[in-house]
Amino acid sequence: MNYVRPACPAVLAFVLLGCQTIPGTPPSASAYPPDDNLNALVWQQTSEDYRLIASETYRAAAQQLDRALNDPAWDALMLEDRNRPAAGLPPAVIVDVDETVLDNSAYQARLVRDRRAFDEFTWHNWAGEEAATAVPGAVAFTQAAAAKGIAVYYISNRAQDLEQVTINNLRKLGFPIVDPSQFLGLGTVLDGCEDNGSEKGCRRRLVGRSHRVLVQVGDQVVDMVTVLANTPEGRHQAVAPYLAWLGERWFVLPNATYGSWEPALFNNDWTQSAEDRRRQKMEALRY
């Protein structure tokens, strides 16, 4: 190849400048490899649709509180979680924490940016920042419940060593927590009851020993029921007897970024390669 000399230094300067990355400009598209979580995450963070869905869910939940208070037979616990009659007990509501009242999408965004998968170290660091924001409508709902004398219980699969930073984060955002016992993290013990892994049945039962539960809010079916077989069919069977409670006693928020719905598609085996997991998710699609 013959070397062609630029006609003038100005032209050369222009050509060289065009090859440089100008500060403040985004990298080229090649800097962003495909990520299975990108669309779900950017929808949660930027779409007005997500804000409206979350807000209307909590507004609908709040509208049920007076009706539930006035009906002494009303109870939002599944039968397996109720080992003491609810009649005469003080009222409570149960909410999940992550992606139900606290929005951790900034943590998920860091994983996408840094091309990393979830791990306990980065998660603990994130929780320690106490920087999660509130899911739209969540603060208003819990405050409305507390104003009516309804205790708010936060049942979370955050580890017990994250209890204080989680309570701090919740309080900063205005969530009502009168006593730390309202936070029931992973590892909470109930005598005579044992959950499988991160199931929440024992903790729901613990609340049910002292309170009549009016409403439950979560982002996964396992926030309300115990799933014996974490497969798509097993999850459907677990919730099927309680479908009449949806929008009345149970309220479910969307979470497409993570959840037990995902491993249900690949036999709950995270040791499989990402490609194998993706293949099984593709096979689960309906065409």
* CATH class (in words) of the domain with range 35-256: alpha beta
User: What confidence category does residue 83 fall into, taking pLDDT thresholds of 50, 70 and 90?
Assistant: confident
Q: pLDDT-based confidence at 195, cuts 50/70/90?
A: confident
From the list 157, 236, 166, the residue with the least C-alpha distance to 203 is: 157
Cα–Cα distance for residue pair 65/92, rounded to 1 Å: 10
Q: How far is 32 from 161, CA to CA, in rounded Å? A: 35
- Cα distance between residue 89 and residue 104, in whole Å: 34
The predicted model scores a pTM of 0.87
* pLDDT of 1 strictly over 80: no
Q: Where are the domains of the chain?
A: 35-256
Beta bridge partners of 250: 216, 246
Average of per-residue pLDDT across 81-108: 95
- What mean pLDDT is predicted for residues 250-270? 96
Q: What is the CA radius of gyration of the chain?
A: 24
Kindly tell me if the per-residue pLDDT of 23 is higher than 60: no
Q: How many residues in total does the chain contain?
A: 287
pLDDT at 45: 97
Judged against a pLDDT cut of 70, whether residue 175 lies above it is answered with yes
**Which whole number is the average pLDDT over 99-116?**
96
Looking at every residue in the chain, the average pLDDT score rounds to 89
Q: What's residue 16's pLDDT? A: 36
Reported as a single tens digit per residue, the pLDDT across 230-251 is: 999 999 999 999 999 999 999 9
**Residue 1 vs residue 212, higher pLDDT:** 212
Residue 6: pLDDT band with limits 50, 70, 90: very low
- Per-residue model confidence (pLDDT) at position 238: 94
Least-confidence region, from 177-191, 210-224, 242-256? 177-191
Which pLDDT band holds residue 4 (cuts at 50, 70, 90)? very low
Question: Whose CA is closest to 77, among 186, 208, 223, 209?
Answer: 208
